[in-house]
Structures are given as structure tokens and as C-alpha cells.
Chain A
Amino acid sequence: MAVCKVKKVNIFTHLELKDKIIEELQKAGCIQIIDVRSKLKMHGLLDFNAINNMESTSALPEVKYCIDFLSNFKDKPKKLDKSLVNPDKVYDYKKLSSLFFQYDYKNIYKKCKELDGDLKNLKNRENHLKNLQENLEEWKELDIKVEDLEGTKNIKIIVGTIPSKDFISCLEEIIRIGKEIEIIKISLDKKQCKIMILSISEYYALIKKILNKYNIDYFKIPLEFSKTPQNILEDIYKELKNIEEKREIILKAGKKMYRENLSLYLAFDYLSILKNKRDIEKYIKQTGKVIIIEGWILKKELNKLKNILFKKFKELEIVFSDPKESDDIPVALKNNKFVEPFESVTELYGIPKYKEFDPTPLFAPFYFIFFGMCLSDAGYGLVIAALSYFALVKFKFEGMAKKFFGLFFLGGISTFIMGAIMGSWMGDTLNFLPKNISFIKTFLIDTISLLDPIKNPMPLLLISLSLGVIQIYTGFIIKFIANIKKNKIKTGFMDQGSWLLLISGILLFVIASAIGSLEKYEIITKYIIWAGLLSVIITQGRSNKNIILKAAGGVLSLYNLIGYFSDILSYSRLFALGLSTAVLAVVVNNFVMLFKDIPIIGIIIAALVFIIGHLFNMVISGMGAFIHSTRLQYVEYFTKFYEGGGTPFKPFKVITKYIKVQIS
């Protein structure tokens, strides 16, 4: 269906042309080059190892480092918008290299390294000083130069803190050691006591032993200084201030560099392009004189490739061939404008294998309806559609983001339609319109609206379940058709046909017995059920060898029936989520009405509550709508017919992160 046809392409050419050809292929961006290194180890093929790419491999991390480092100096976002590389400016591919070589990134790198190193040194020094400061604050009273605390050969000095309650007993113990001890109390408060002990060196070990017993906390002498603690503190304070100033200077320099060196982005992208090219060169096999490029190409782009290559080069040969079954063929999807946004949902699940079909067009209509039913408010639908449309036009997304916003745009439209049908416009806001414009309400509610789930929820619940039945049926039928197309007609009838028969029988039976006038058909539906049961029991155990096991397998498979009915019941979430959006919106409006009657500020608060409340409901319910519509496809629908697990087609092309490049 919408899986693009893929061809294998082999390009043969002279070795000298290699660089140029690869560049052209990158610019063309339509071919996925295959890594043949692991597949073929043919004799005579040389490994690619020609270009010395030392420079570019080291340059890329260096530029990246500069970008990361300088991004620390970003100004507030306001200024940034003006100074950043103009996102709308498109660079010409040909000029990239000359722009890059004009630009001395090595110098910038050196400067960045320097600034970074300086900043780190300052930080280290600062931490060190702050620790010292904290330590010394406690010893301000010590009026001795710290270098004198070291003691001499014969005299030892111990300075430290012990708990105050132990002070007396500790003192007594120390005095008992000998006479040549001098104890000086520096300070004493309720908790701690700071002491200094001078003694001859023979006693040193003994005293220490006692002090350790009393949990002494030694004073760590900052040997890099030679003043009293008080003076040292003053010095540290000055130095910290100095550090702060130095840092300011570095920050300023950094900011200046950040503003002036936006060409770094260009350099980064240019180098990435080069690196991509170098990486891909490794995939190519070559002999002494010839290179062979092997790759995948979409069938519709065959001519494009031929045109590009033959226009520029003469000495080459392009061979196209059909892919082999055994190959891991990459998959690209192609759908019309309406279906394309839904590809994002397929991609989240896993894209189809090459031989499979694309499920996107098969679930897109369901998804469209489901999303609208889950959100089901015309006002929210309009807002979401408008916002997504605005985002699509303004930001010109590519790839996945574009698809997602497209999905929300379509979802918004669907929500608008469903909301109008259910008569929900920002909840029941229409009820509060002034009298003179109440004709709007009359028109929207009485003429357009078909259902009112808040007053009478049953119809909507039945619609939800019916949609479930339709989708499950569709799933079975798709699988049935797929089997027939693959010439597995028997499998199709046995696996899908028997189940369709049984489920149809049960549903018809329910309908016939529920509606009085159809009672006479009830007996027919019973026959259908029996036929269905029989066919399921006969066919579903057929993979077993033994006849008894075959029958047992068939009976056991009836258990799946519960699964299918719970699948259908699962669609009641459409109703529940739709109703919950509507009810929450009504609740918000109720709150608004509570505030309305407060004089003067009442109107302002009411307006705020209205906006915030509805915004909140829209975001939460919108998220729910997206997730639950997605889940219904994945769990209830895809399981009937879809496998997925293909590898996406990733053409070798110019990829940039920061700047836009135009390839002429």
C-alpha cells in the first residue's frame, strides 16, 4: 500500500572520484549506504584507510567543547534571540568550507580552555579558603602566630578543643604526668573548651593519649600562613574578594566570547557533515583502482540519482537491482497529506516490515474520530487546531515534530466536529451568554447538536461500543484479505472467517433479542452461533498433532472470545473520556459563576478561573485523548493484523544541528 518500493543500487567508479561522489551523494540525500564490511571479506578488497582524518576527528569535540562551555555564559533569553545565529538565514553549502577555514576555531578553543582552567582554579582556591575560614573563625581568640604553634625540637605544642564537661578531669590527668607542662585555657563556653598545652617532647605521646580519650578535636594549623588567626582571616577575606572580582572578569570575557563566536555553530555543523562523510567512507569497498558503493534507494528517486551523478561524472556505472528476500530492506512510508501525520503513531509502534503493508491509512480515520470523541468540545477543538496550525506555519518543523503537530491539528478539527455534535462549547458556556445574543446558543445547541451525553449518556456509550465493533471487524477483515493476498486462503477462512462467524452470530443474537420486531430471526442467529462455535473448535487446534489435542486446542481457543469482547468493551473509554472532558468543563464554569458576583474584582477572577480552568482541562484531556486513541490502535486494533518491526530508511544526507544549509 504505502510502503515505498525500494531498489538496491551499486555504483562503480574510479578511486579518484570517491571523495567527490560521496559528497554528491550526501548532498542528494536519497541513498542509504550499506555497510558491507561485515558481509564481504573478499580477497583483494582493501579496507578504506586513505585520508588522515586526525584533524577533523579532534576538531569536532573541540568545537563541541567550546559551544558547551560558552553556553554557560548565555545571557537572559531576551538578548539571546537577537544575538544568536539568525535561524532564518540559510547558508550555501558551497560557502560552508570557506567560511569555516576563515574562522580560527583553534584560537577560540585555546581561549575557552584557558578560561575554563582559570575558573576551575579559582573555584578550587575559593573552596579551600572557605574551609580554612570556617576552621579559623573558631580560633580567633588565639593570639599567636600560627607558625609558632609548630613547636621546637624539645617543646611540643598541642592546640585543640575538648568538651567542657571533661575539662577539669582531663586537666587533672595531664598534670599528673609531670611538672614540665603548661596548660593555657584559651576560651570556655558551655559546650566546648579550647586549650593549648605546652610540654617537653617526652610527654607528648602520653598527653596525646589522654586527650584522645577525651575526644579532642585538634586545631589544624594552616601552614601556608604565618600570622595570627585573626590576621589570616583578614587576608582570606581579601583574597576571596579578589577571587570574586577575577571571576567577574572571566564571566565578562566569556559573555563577550559567546556573543562574538556564533560561527562556532557553523563550524560544528560543517565538521559534523565532514564526519558523516568520513564515517560513510568506511562502508565502501574498494580495490586498487575501483570503488563500489552499495546502497538502498527509493524507486521514485532512481532518476534523480542518475541525473545528478551523470551530469557531474562520466566514469561511473550505476546498476539497479531488485532487493532479495533475505535482505533487511529499509522501509519508507508514503501517504497523502491527510494520512501523513498519523505516521507518527505508526512510527511510535514500529514501522512495518518491507513485505508488510502500511497500517497508517487503515487506522487514520478511526484515530481521527476517536481523538475527537475523547476530547469532544468544540471550543477546545478550535483552540488546539489554531495553535497547531500556527506552530506548523511559524516554526516550519521537519520530520517527527511536523507529523505530531499535523496530528494535533487534525485532532483539533475532529474535536471541533464532535464537540459541535455533542453541543459542548467550553462546557456549557453558551448557557451564560447575554440574552440578546442567545440566538447563537439556540442555533448551536438546538440545530447542530445531536446528542447531549450529560443528560442522556446511553446513546454515546452505545456509539462508542459500536465503533469498537466496527474497528475490531475491520481488523479481522484486513487480516483476512492479507492472508488471501498471500495465497493463504485456507488460513484466512479458518483463522479469521470462523471468528467472524462466531462474533457476528453473537452480536446478531443480541440485536435480535433486544429488538422486539426481530424476534423471529433469533433462531437463525442461534444457528450462526453454533456454526461459528463449531468452526472455531475444528480449526483453532489444528496445529496440534494428536486428534484429541486438536479438539482440546479448539475448545481452549474459545477463551479468546472473552478477549475479543473485552477489546470491544475497552472502547467505552471513548465515552468515559468524552464525558469527563464535558463534565470538567461544566465544573470549571460553575466555579467561574461562583466568583462572578464578587464586586469589582469578581469579573477579573472569574476571567482568570475561566482561562486557567479550561486550559488545564484542555491539556489534561488532550493528553488523554492522544494516549487513549493511540492505545486503542496499538492494543485492540494492531494485534488483529499488524506486526511491525521494520528498519526505517535513513538516507545518507547533510544533517545539521544549528544552521540551515541550502544545497544548490
Chain B
Amino acid sequence: MITQGIVIAFLGSATAIGLACSGSGIGVGIAGAAGIGVLTEEPEKFGLVLFLQAFPGTQGIYGLLVGFWVLMKTGILGGSPIPITLDQGMQIFFSCIPVGIVGFFSGWYQGKTAAAAIGLAARNPEGIGKAIVMVTMVETYAVFSLLASLLLFNGITL
């Protein structure tokens, strides 16, 4: 049965996936552009560049994770949605907000950091360990937002 709550839950799932994946898309794009620049000079660094380019991709996965989690818990994925009240639907929507918004911005900015790290990989491969830590600093907030979303969602009684 489709209730108003289910519709809002849809919105939540879509927000989490849509925003976080957009952020990752932008981030991976920025890092990839920098990576191609390096590869024109040094094609043998492909593995390292790909590794660094993948960093901003995690936000999208976190968003996808929360989005699917919502779809599964509400039974939408199985084809038989449980009746959810409007209040519950709103709760679900709000619990999706952190991972969506933070995913968007942290994915974007992690892309910039990853691009800089790729630039460093071209000039000074030994410093790459430290550069990776810098890139991971941005990731921290995406992980926290995932944590917040999961905890918020877990607090909803369905």
C-alpha cells in the first residue's frame, strides 16, 4: 500500500543517493582530469592515479548505501512496502539529509584534494603517503555523515 509516508521515504532515498552521487561524480571528474594530465607525461603511473581518483567515489557509495537501506527497510525494494505514517516518512527523509548534503560537498572538495595529490604523485612519488592522509581528512566528514544517517535511521521505529 502506498501511503504518504512511503512517498516521503522515496524522497529521502532519492536525496541520499542523488546528492551524494553527484558530489562523487564532480569529485571523480576533477581528480580524473588532473590524472589524465599526469598520464600524458607518465603513463606508467596509471595504477597510482586510478587509486587516487577513486577516493572521491566513496561518498556516492555511502549515499547509495543509505538509500538502499531505506528502500530495504521500508519494503519498497521487495515490492511490498509496509504502511508508513507521514511522521515516519519525514523521519526517514531527515535521516537521509546528512549523507546527501555532506556527500555532495565532501565529494566535490575531496576531488580537488585528490587532484592536488595526483599532481604531487607526478613530481614526488615518495610523498604520496602523506598526500593520501590529506585526502583522507576530507573523507572523515563523509564517514561521519554516513554514521549520522545510519544512527538517525536506526532510531526510527517502523
Q: Are A570 and B68 in contact (CB under 8 A)?
A: no
Select the stretch in A94-102, A226-234, A262-270, A582-590 that faces chain B.
A582-590
Q: Are B150 and A576 in contact (CB under 8 A)?
A: yes
Contact flags B114-158 to A (C-beta < 8 A → 1, else 0): 000000000000001110110011011001101100110010000
Contact flags B54-70 to A (C-beta < 8 A → 1, else 0): 10011001100100110
Q: Are B133 and A635 in contact (CB under 8 A)?
A: yes
Which of B57, B65, B143 lies in contact with A583, CB distance below 8 A?
B65
Contact flags A576-597 to B (C-beta < 8 A → 1, else 0): 1101100110110010001000
Residues on the A chain within 8 Å of B146, using CB: 576, 580
| Chain A stretch 12-58: residues in CB contact (< 8 A) with chain B | none
Q: For the complex, give the distance between the alpha carbons of A566 and B68 in Å.
A: 30
Q: Are A457 and B58 in contact (CB under 8 A)?
A: no
Q: For the complex, give the distance between the alpha carbons of A147 and B147 in Å.
A: 81
Chain B: minimal CB distance from A414 (Å): 20
Residues on the B chain within 8 Å of A524, using CB: none
Select the stretch in A81-89, A163-171, A215-223, A623-631 that faces chain B.
A623-631
Residues on the A chain within 8 Å of B78, using CB: 590
Chain A: minimal CB distance from B75 (Å): 11
Residues on the A chain within 8 Å of B65, using CB: 580, 583-584, 587
Q: For the complex, give the distance between the alpha carbons of A594 and B144 in Å.
A: 31
Q: Are A628 and B150 in contact (CB under 8 A)?
A: no
Q: Is A634 an interface residue (CB 8 A)?
A: yes
Q: For the complex, give the distance between the alpha carbons of A620 and B57 in Å.
A: 9
Q: Is A562 an interface residue (CB 8 A)?
A: no
Q: For the complex, give the distance between the alpha carbons of A74 and B3 in Å.
A: 64
Q: For the complex, give the distance between the alpha carbons of A280 and B144 in Å.
A: 52
Q: Is B77 an interface residue (CB 8 A)?
A: yes
Chain B: minimal CB distance from A658 (Å): 16
Q: For the complex, give the distance between the alpha carbons of A590 and B139 in Å.
A: 28
Q: For the complex, give the distance between the alpha carbons of A597 and B77 in Å.
A: 15
Q: Are B58 and A620 in contact (CB under 8 A)?
A: yes
**A457-B150, A457-B154 are contacts. A573–B140 as well, Cβ < 8 Å?**
yes
| Chain B stretch 38-63: residues in CB contact (< 8 A) with chain A | 51, 54, 57-58, 61-62
**A580-B65, A584-B65, A587-B69 are contacts. A572–B133 as well, Cβ < 8 Å?**
no
Q: Is A349 an interface residue (CB 8 A)?
A: yes
Q: Are B68 and A587 in contact (CB under 8 A)?
A: yes
Which of A350, A461, A580, A590 lies in contact with B77, CB distance below 8 A?
A590
Chain A: minimal CB distance from B27 (Å): 15
Residues on the B chain within 8 Å of A572, using CB: 143-144, 147
Majority DSSP secondary structure for residues of A touching B: helix
Q: Is B72 an interface residue (CB 8 A)?
A: yes
Q: Are A631 and B136 in contact (CB under 8 A)?
A: yes
Which of A347, A350, A576, A634 lies in contact with B143, CB distance below 8 A?
A576
Chain A: minimal CB distance from B47 (Å): 12
| Chain A stretch 641-657: residues in CB contact (< 8 A) with chain B | none
Residues on the B chain within 8 Å of A576, using CB: 143-144, 146-147, 150
Which of B72, B130, B132 lies in contact with A590, CB distance below 8 A?
B72
Chain B: minimal CB distance from A576 (Å): 4
Q: Are A577 and B143 in contact (CB under 8 A)?
A: yes
Q: Are B137 and A635 in contact (CB under 8 A)?
A: yes
Contact flags A605-638 to B (C-beta < 8 A → 1, else 0): 0000000000000001001100110110011000
Residues on the A chain within 8 Å of B51, using CB: 623
Chain B: minimal CB distance from A614 (Å): 14
The total of Cβ contacts below 8 Å across the A-B interface reads 73
Q: For the complex, give the distance between the alpha carbons of A635 and B136 in Å.
A: 10
Q: Are A586 and B136 in contact (CB under 8 A)?
A: no
Taking residues whose C-beta sits less than 8 angstroms from the other chain, chain B's interface range is: 20 to 34
Chain B: CB-nearest residue to A633 = B133
Q: Is A547 an interface residue (CB 8 A)?
A: no
Residues on the A chain within 8 Å of B139, using CB: 627-628
Q: For the complex, give the distance between the alpha carbons of A350 and B128 in Å.
A: 11
Residues on the B chain within 8 Å of A587, using CB: 65, 68-69, 72
Which of B61, B128, B144, B151 lies in contact with A457, CB distance below 8 A?
B151
Majority DSSP secondary structure for residues of B touching A: helix
Q: Are B136 and A628 in contact (CB under 8 A)?
A: yes
Chain B: CB-nearest residue to A457 = B154
Q: Is A575 an interface residue (CB 8 A)?
A: yes
**A627-B136, A631-B136 are contacts. A584–B72 as well, Cβ < 8 Å?**
no
Chain A: CB-nearest residue to B133 = A634
Residues on the B chain within 8 Å of A634, using CB: 133
Chain B: minimal CB distance from A45 (Å): 33
Chain B: minimal CB distance from A587 (Å): 4
Q: Is A437 an interface residue (CB 8 A)?
A: no
Residues on the B chain within 8 Å of A348, using CB: 128-129, 132
Q: Are A623 and B77 in contact (CB under 8 A)?
A: no
Residues on the B chain within 8 Å of A347, using CB: 129
Residues on the A chain within 8 Å of B132, using CB: 348, 627, 630
Q: Are B150 and A570 in contact (CB under 8 A)?
A: no
Which of A575, A576, A628 has the largest count of B CB atoms less than 10 A from its CB? A576
Contact flags A396-427 to B (C-beta < 8 A → 1, else 0): 00000000000000000000000000000000
Chain A: CB-nearest residue to B55 = A627
Q: For the complex, give the distance between the alpha carbons of A630 and B128 in Å.
A: 13
Residues on the A chain within 8 Å of B137, using CB: 631, 635
Residues on the B chain within 8 Å of A579, using CB: 150
Residues on the B chain within 8 Å of A580, using CB: 61-62, 65, 146, 150
Residues on the A chain within 8 Å of B154, using CB: 457
Q: For the complex, give the distance between the alpha carbons of A631 and B154 in Å.
A: 27
Which of B57, B128, B130, B140 has the largest count of A CB atoms less than 10 A from its CB? B140
Q: For the complex, give the distance between the alpha carbons of A573 and B132 in Å.
A: 17
Q: Are A584 and B61 in contact (CB under 8 A)?
A: yes
Q: For the complex, give the distance between the alpha carbons of A584 and B54 in Å.
A: 18
Q: For the complex, give the distance between the alpha carbons of A279 and B54 in Å.
A: 40
Q: Are A573 and B143 in contact (CB under 8 A)?
A: yes
Residues on the A chain within 8 Å of B54, using CB: 623
Q: For the complex, give the distance between the alpha carbons of A586 and B146 in Å.
A: 17
Chain A: CB-nearest residue to B68 = A587
Chain A: minimal CB distance from B58 (Å): 6
Q: Are B143 and A628 in contact (CB under 8 A)?
A: yes
Chain B: minimal CB distance from A579 (Å): 6
Residues on the A chain within 8 Å of B129, using CB: 347-350
Q: Are A631 and B133 in contact (CB under 8 A)?
A: yes
Chain A: minimal CB distance from B141 (Å): 10
**A572-B144, A576-B147, A620-B61 are contacts. A586–B72 as well, Cβ < 8 Å?**
yes
Question: Can you list 19 pairs linking A and B with CB atoms under 8 Å apart?
Answer: A347-B129, A349-B129, A457-B154, A572-B143, A580-B146, A580-B150, A583-B65, A583-B68, A583-B69, A583-B150, A587-B68, A590-B68, A590-B77, A590-B78, A624-B58, A631-B136, A635-B133, A635-B136, A635-B137
Top 4 nearest A-B pairs by Cβ distance?
A348-B129, A576-B147, A631-B136, A587-B68
5 further A-B pairs in the complex, CB-CB below 8 A; given A576-B144, A580-B61, A631-B140? A348-B128, A461-B151, A570-B140, A573-B144, A590-B68
